[in-house]
Amino acid sequence: MSDSKTISLDAFRKKKQKEEAEKPYLGTLVWLYCRVCETIEYTEVVAPHGRTHKCGTIVEEVEVPLDLRAEYTLTQFNLEKINGLLHKNKESRLRKLISKSLDNALMALKQSEENYISRLHLAAGCQIPVYPGSLKDLEKQLPIKEINKLGMLISDFRFEPEKRFLKNKKQ
């Protein structure tokens, strides 16, 4: 008799589902810096032969490989936080009057997070699922660099992009 194990189809499916739930979506985003305009932007489009800025200057580029799924998950947590803050400001009349400018800032932040999500989808070439679980479960897995005063999660990619170009100047 052999010592081979029987394979359970249910166990095999569960293992595959677990692997799929933890699978990263690898991709690349690019930070762009224009010395003339002194602007820093990001894009999902990799240009191997360089590119010019709208002012006509050739921009410096730093390609950053990352887990698009982790970035998407962090951004979804940020959107939930922003929506919670907006909802909290609408609860009280006094808060509603005082927080008009805060609401405008939160709406602008929400718009930038939604724009980031669309860029992530373009970089991935498909819809990206979030990592399952709560933030506490995922804290070690996600590239969280900082939590700002509003409670927004700042990823490694989005943390101090200007320092990426300072490193290039020293080399």
> Where in the chain are the domains?
24-170
Provide mean pLDDT across the span 68-89. Answer: 91
Q: Judge whether 63 and 45 are in contact, CB under 8 Å.
A: no
Q: For the chain, what is the mean pLDDT?
A: 85
pLDDT exceeds cutoff 60 at 101: yes
Q: What is the Cα–Cα distance from 52 to 58, expressed in whole angstroms?
A: 4
Residue from 165, 156, 160 nearest 71 by CA:
156
Residue from 107, 72, 113 nearest 87 by CA:
107
Of the listed ranges 32-41, 43-52, 53-62, 133-142, the one predicted with least confidence = 133-142
Neighbouring C-beta atoms of residue 113, cutoff 10 Å: 18
| pLDDT, tens digit (0-9, with 9 covering 90-100), for 102-145 | 888 889 999 999 999 999 999 999 899 888 888 888 888 888 99
pLDDT exceeds cutoff 70 at 2: no
Give the pTM: 0.81
Q: What is the Cα–Cα distance from 164 to 143, expressed in whole angstroms?
A: 17
Q: What is the DSSP string of 108-163?
A: HHHHHHHHHHHHHHHHHTS--PPPSS-HHHHTTTS-EEEE-TT--EEETTTS-THH
Residue 116 token pair: 């980031």
